[in-house]
Chains A and B, each alone.
Chain A
Amino acid sequence: MFFRKTENWNLSKFILFLVIIPCVIIWLFPLWNVLVSSTKSVEGSLMSKPWSFSPIDNPLLQFISNIERAMKGSQRGNGIQSAFFNSSLYALSGAIFSIAFAALAAFALVCLPIKGRFPIFIILFSGALFPLQIYLIPLFSLFQKTNMYDRKITLILVYVAICIPFCVFVLRNWFMDIPIEIYEASKIDGASNIQIFLQIFVPLSKAPLVLLFLFQFTWIWNDYIFGTTFARSVNTRSIMALLAAQQNMYSTLGTPTVLASAIITSLPTVFLVFAFKNIFFKGVAFRFSGSSK
């Protein structure tokens, strides 16, 4: 019986394993394909199937040399080394500031005497629903006019803004489950709003704060459209913008180098998903259904 939760093993579970394990293998095949191909030289990949190692290369040494080439690039400006630093800065600061500002707003929307709470909430949340394309043209021209185009601070500001809606959404839901009596009692004890926020609400909200940090870090790290539209030079380009630029030049860089690039740029987020898989599962459910339960 498939839907019964029983501890003991039976035939149907065994059959399920036989179905699922091939599915997992097929599912991971594209990754295996890329992983293996990144351990070959350009000549080696011509002499072997895409999914098998090459007869003429030492996989480990060739992988390291491909990575070195990916990091430095074939010419100035197309190595991903500096982009690693840029995107770390964007992802960390974007995630932290957006969560902080969203938490303040969510606290106000839930606890403080504010008129029009729901409309304000919808205004704050609406940014999460529209296609990103609708923001590009005015911001592009605004940044050019104000000499903000192609600067790190500009991308940080944009990332903070775009991450706020989802954070407000999650934290507001979470704060609403904290009994309002806690707020009222602390108020009577003479605590100020900011004290209640920092000393009671923030410590009670570790779970959603961690969840949001993981999600926003991953989102910003993986973003392409803002990174490629608002930045151009080596000093500012985000990691995915540079990776796409490398893919464009695959004939000069060599396909194995591009694949090695794709692997190392994915390592931070893949690590996070493996390390915190249950938080990610919960977060995905939250993003889609609006409920943490």
Chain B
Amino acid sequence: MKCKAIKPYYFLLPALFFIGVFLIYPAVYTFFISFTSWSGINTPRWVGLNNYKYIFENPAFWVSLKNTIIWSVASLVFPVALGFILSLLLYSVPFESFFKVFFFLPYALSGVVISIVWWYMYSLDGAINVVLALFLDENKLQPWLQSVPINTYAMILAYGWKMTGTNMVLFSVGMQAIPNEPIEAAYLEGANYWQTLRKVILPAMASTTAVVVVMSIINSLNLFDLIWVMTQGGPYQSSATLGVNMYYDSFLLFKFGRGAANATILSLIVFVAAIFYLRIIFKKSEIGD
């Protein structure tokens, strides 16, 4: 039969081709470019560690590293914690999936749309300032996205609006999987709400929480479009993260070597987080093949 001629490895070829050409080759090549000086037109010129040296001596890098850390920590505190609280609230409410879809709705919106929604909220005569004008002095109002350092936190709020629903769904799925017996037992023994939460619910949620935390860190490290559309990392690169800095160096200044070095540094950080993620999700399964 003709079909039998299809060898097992042929099934892998299309996927390997696409991954190889469009993902692995560029990732490796970016690493190489990070040791060169290149504007995209000339041929890359080997400069050793000069790009890294330049980056580490440049205050803009440390600002963006600081912002990246603020983003990772704040998006753990705000969207993850809020997502958890929402999933607790919605745990035994009737029509919970009706409510959930509203909190989840921002997930459907692109980073650009989220940026526009909040850029409008934060504009000088936008909703936030109109509401604040009721309580505050006129001169306390500001263009939130242009004021340092509040603009980073303003963008984190917008990002939290996007991600909270996702975290809520994840926690809900984990919570629904808790068997009923321990909850009933706690009830029969007269445990109150906080005792049940602490002794039954939270321990059962440990692995879900681990995944959400690691994934949330990876996501905020990789975040790009929201910051790029809202502030372009400005004013004066003060709200840039590593990912934004990379794009700025590469596609506005066309300093590909420096951009590649930025991308490499970011990837190394993400790689560390990704190892934790892989260890969690493959813990129970078949690594040994």
Contacts and interface: CB of A to CB of B under 8 A. Distances in A.
Interface of A: 1-6, 9, 13, 16-17, 19-20, 23-24, 27-31, 33-34, 37, 49-51, 98, 100-102, 104-105, 107-109, 112-114, 117-118, 120, 122-124, 126-127, 129-142, 144, 157-158, 160-162, 164-165, 168, 176, 190, 192-195, 197, 218, 221-225, 229, 240, 243-244, 247, 255, 258-259, 262, 265-266, 269-270, 272-274, 277-278, 280-282, 284-285, 288-291, 293
Contacts of B212: 288
Q: Is the interface of A mostly helix, strand, loop or mixed?
A: helix
Interface string B88-105: 111111100101111111
B229 A266 contact: no
B135 interface: no
Contacts of B21: 161
A217 B25 CA distance: 25
A5 B1 contact: no
A189 B222 CA distance: 49
Given A33-B120, A137-B256, A224 B15 contact: no
A192 B14 contact: no
Given A27-B103, A218-B108, A129 B246 contact: no
13 contacts: A2-B193, A3-B197, A4-B187, A16-B92, A28-B102, A50-B120, A126-B24, A127-B24, A157-B22, A161-B19, A194-B3, A240-B110, A255-B123
A281 B100 CA distance: 9
Interface of B: 1, 3-4, 6, 8-9, 11-12, 14-16, 18-19, 21-27, 29-30, 33, 40, 86, 88-94, 97, 99-105, 107-113, 115-121, 123, 125-127, 130, 161, 166, 169-170, 172-174, 177, 180, 183-184, 186-187, 193, 196-197, 200-201, 208, 211-212, 215, 218, 221-222, 224-225, 228-229, 243, 246-247, 250-251, 256, 259-260, 262-264, 266-267, 270-271, 274, 277-278, 281-282, 286-289
